[in-house]
Amino acid sequence: MPSGGLHHLIDAHYEALYRYAYRLSGSAADAEDLTQETFGKALARLPQLREPDRARAWLFRILRNLYLHKVRDQKRHKVVPLDAVGDLADRDTDQEMPEIDPAKLQQALNELDEAFRTPIILFYFEEFSYRDIAEQMDLPIGTVMSRLARGKAYLRNRLAPEHGTDNDPDGTGPRHEKAAPGPKKVTDGVP
Amino acid sequence: MECRDAQFYLRLRRHTTDELGPDVAGTLEGHLAICPACAADGRAAVSFDRALTAAMRAVPVPSGLREKLFTQAASAQGAVLRHKLYRTGGLVTAAVLLIGIGFGVFSSTRPKADSELLTRTATDQANDPAGSVGRFLAAKKLPDRLPMPFDYDLLVHVGTDEVQGQQVPVVVFRSSNGDSGFAKVYIFKSDSRFDLRGLQDAQGSHARAQVLVGQDKFRGATYVFVHTGRDLKPFLLNRNGGGNPA
Ligand SMILES: [Zn+2]
């Protein structure tokens, strides 16, 4: 591919990739590394990109694989166990949701296992359909929908106004070290 | 549909495109029409989605990232090109490529423009052409002047050109002859991503490339003078002196 093509690919997708990486990793430094590594890998694999229309999904997939590879050996995650995520019987209050602090959202995302975090992030990058998300994650579409519903229920509880004043003095959110505040029990690691 | 199912689907309902399918969507709408509690939850879900979408996307992208990615891509592509050049033994090809780039054969980027910055740079260049070249080269960690006595009143441009996928510093002069002639001085760092061994002079139909490996104060840099005409005389202060770098 001529350099113009690669430059076009960078221009078209680097911001979305960075935002995705940031929301996945919770760290600006990691997000920058992941974005750079993604384009590095993409350049080497350009011949595999058969449908240019699918470039974004392809790049997102490369990035997620790099991220999973990075965290595989790191037992630093403290995440909410799957069975604590999203009790669907919870009835949310019928109130207008005020603005959500992006740092607080990151804090809540960090508490979620990647299996829940990724579909949530992709869901809100609206160009990803359920089918896209299922393909990204190599999962049946029903599993994606179930995880989405539960992940959203968790976030809704976690980010509801009554939780809005909990501890995050510097406003940056924790990396992964801090246990999740709020009503859910938190345990180390998830299979 | 029961309330539990309705709440499950409410969390999946998209407000831009409906991916639930007509069956589920229809049944869900039917339930919402008769169940005030779920209807209220539906409204709360819309409100939550709106707030979460805004927060999810509120990630400032570092200003230097785009530049880093372009440099990285250039570096990786340069490695591929260098490999190809070696295989064909075409180091002259490299110099001819330089000339091709000089004539704008290759195009590349679509940068975000900052007119204020451009004005400052242009003002600096107009007020103090030699100084602006010196500061530019120093910022690139290169010897802060050129190894030939160029007439800086003829300075047209100082910046970088994309050469074989790499950004290379370049200083451009117009000819004092009043024709459309020009000279471009490409400055390659010895520790750069280019393999400079065996780089040699080249002749194209409209331009010539002359190579000068920096010595003493110019150590660490290799200069490629790509210019129209027979020699560099029309671009130098002392136009009666020698017009060739070596
Ligand atoms: Zn109901």
Quote the pLDDT of residue B208. 87
A43 Cβ under 8 Å from any chain B Cβ = yes
Q: What's the gap between Cα B216 and its chain centre?
A: 31
CB contact under 8 A, B55 and A100: yes
Write the DSSP string, B91-121: HHHHHHHHHHHHTT-S----PPP-HHHHHHH
CB contact under 8 A, A148 and B52: no
Q: Are residues A66 and A120 in the same domain?
A: no
Q: Are residues B93 and B10 in the same domain?
A: no
**Whole-angstrom distance, CA of residue B29 vs CA of residue A155:** 24
A47 Cβ under 8 Å from any chain B Cβ = no
Quote the pLDDT of residue A93. 56
**Whole-angstrom distance, CA of residue B13 vs CA of residue B18:** 7
Distance from the Cα of A116 to chain B's closest Cα (Å) equals 14
Q: How confident is the model at residue B238 (pLDDT cuts 50, 70, 90)?
A: confident
Q: Are residues B7 and B73 in the same domain?
A: no
**A47-51, A175-179, B24-28, B202-206: least confidently modelled range:** A175-179
Nearest to B55 by CA among A105, A128, A171: A105
Q: Which letter does DSSP use for residue B150 in this model?
A: B
Is B123 within the bounds of a domain? Answer: no
Residue pLDDT, tens place only, A87-120: 544 555 556 777 889 999 999 999 888 899 999 9
Cα→Cα distances A143→A90, A112, A118, B62, B64, Å: 20, 16, 13, 35, 38
pTM of the model: 0.55
Q: Identify the sign of the CA torsion B41, B42, B47, B49.
A: positive
Q: How confident is the model at residue B61 (pLDDT cuts 50, 70, 90)?
A: very high
Rg (alpha carbons) of chain B, rounded to whole number: 30
Average predicted confidence (pLDDT) for chain B: 80
CB A124 within 8 A of CB B15: no
Is B84 within the bounds of a domain? Answer: yes
Mean pLDDT on B11-23: 76
Q: Are residues A59 and A108 in the same domain?
A: no
Residue pLDDT, tens place only, B215-226: 888 888 889 999
Quote the pLDDT of residue B15. 64
Is B41 a residue whose pLDDT tops 80? yes
Phi, psi of B201 (to 5 degrees): -60, 155
A103 Cβ under 8 Å from any chain B Cβ = no
For residue A58, the domain's CATH number is: 1.10.1740.10
B27 CA distance to ligand 1 middle (Å): 12
B2 CA distance to ligand 1 middle (Å): 6
CB B65 within 8 A of CB A29: no
Total domains, chain A: 2
Cβ-based contacts of A15 with chain B (< 8 Å): 61
Quote the pLDDT of residue A137. 92
Question: What ipTM does this complex have?
Answer: 0.76
Is B88 a residue whose pLDDT tops 90? no
Is B114 within the bounds of a domain? Answer: no
CB contact under 8 A, B44 and A14: no
**Whole-angstrom distance, CA of residue A123 vs CA of residue A104:** 18
The total of other beta-carbon atoms located within 10 Å of residue B77's CB is 19
Is A92 within the bounds of a domain? Answer: no
B48 CA distance to ligand 1 middle (Å): 18
Is B198 within the bounds of a domain? Answer: yes
**A27-36, B83-92, B191-200: least confidently modelled range:** B83-92
Burial class (CB in 10 A: 0-12, 13-18, 19+), B205: exposed
A154 Cβ under 8 Å from any chain B Cβ = no
Total domains, chain B: 3
Quote the pLDDT of residue A182. 36
Q: Are residues B91 and B38 in the same domain?
A: no
Structural tokens at position A168: 């995050």
Q: Are residues B183 and B144 in the same domain?
A: yes
Is A85 within the bounds of a domain? Answer: no
- Selecting from A22, A94, A126 the residue whose C-beta is nearest the C-beta of B43 gives A94
Own/partner pairs for B175-178, CB < 8 Å, 24+ apart? Answer: B175/B228, B175/B229, B175/B234, B175/B235, B176/B151, B176/B234, B176/B235, B176/B239, B177/B229, B177/B234
Q: List the single residue in A with minimal CA-CA distance to B65.
A: A32
Q: How confident is the model at residue A187 (pLDDT cuts 50, 70, 90)?
A: very low
User: Checking DSSP bridges between strand B182-189 and strand B208-213, what pairing results, if any?
Assistant: unpaired
Q: Are residues B84 and B160 in the same domain?
A: no
**A76-90, A117-131, A173-187, B177-191: least confidently modelled range:** A173-187
Phi, psi of B207 (to 5 degrees): -150, 165
Quote the pLDDT of residue A169. 40
Burial B5-36 (b: 16+ CB within 10 A, else e): ebbbbbbbbeeeeeebeeebeeebeebbeebe
Quote the pLDDT of residue B116. 74
Distant-in-sequence, close-in-space partners of B72: CB < 8 Å, separation ≥ 6: A36, A39, A40
Q: A1, A39, A94: which to substitute to probe chain B, counting the most B Cβ within 10 Å?
A: A94
Is B241 within the bounds of a domain? Answer: no
A54 CA distance to ligand 1 middle (Å): 39
CB B224 within 8 A of CB B211: yes
Mean pLDDT on B172-193: 86
Q: Are residues A52 and A115 in the same domain?
A: no
Quote the pLDDT of residue B99. 45
Is B8 a residue whose pLDDT tops 60? yes
Q: How confident is the model at residue B9 (pLDDT cuts 50, 70, 90)?
A: confident
Q: Are residues A62 and A127 in the same domain?
A: no
Domain that holds residue A161: 102-178
Average predicted confidence (pLDDT) for chain A: 75
CB contact under 8 A, A91 and B73: no
Cβ-based contacts of B4 with chain A (< 8 Å): 88-89
Residue pLDDT, tens place only, B132-169: 899 889 888 889 889 888 999 999 888 888 888 788 89
Task: Name the more confident of A147 and A127.
Answer: A147
The total of other beta-carbon atoms located within 10 Å of residue B132's CB is 20
